[in-house]
Amino acid sequence: MYQMSYAETLEDSSEDRRGQERELFSLVIAQLQAAKEAGIKSSEAAQALISVHRLWSILIDDLGSPDNALPAVLRADLISIGIWCVKQADLLRSGNSDDFESLIEINGLVRDGLA
């Protein structure tokens, strides 16, 4: 009977987690695309912006944890990206921007980097 080593189990778990994160990013991107089409004052926009806040709040919290195994420089870069995404979502929500495309593009790049 084959037994996986602890390292293989951890590797599989991190791959599963990256897959889940990719799925979440894809969902948020789809919501942002729907919001872009429906307009800034739509319910689609409201939901997409809430999703951006939730996703990045969770990620920023995780990236700031000393238990996070990513290199410190990468974590700092991702936190900076996350803060920008949250600020951009706030600008959209307040009506001071209508630029959904930048959020779509940046979140797409992060998602694609999880591959």
- Condensed to tens digits (0 to 9), the pLDDT of residues 15-49 reads 788 899 999 999 999 999 999 999 999 999 999 99
The pLDDT value recorded for residue 13 is 64
Rounded to two decimals, what is the model's pTM? Answer: 0.85
Residue 14 burial (10 A CB sphere; 0-12, 13-18, 19+) = exposed
What span, in angstroms and rounded, lies between the C-alpha atoms of 15 and 69? 14
Task: Tell me the fold of 16-113.
Answer: Four Helix Bundle (Hemerythrin (Met), subunit A) (1.20.120)
Distance (Å) of CA 63 to CA 9, 32, 100: 22, 23, 25
| Mean pLDDT on 96-114 | 96
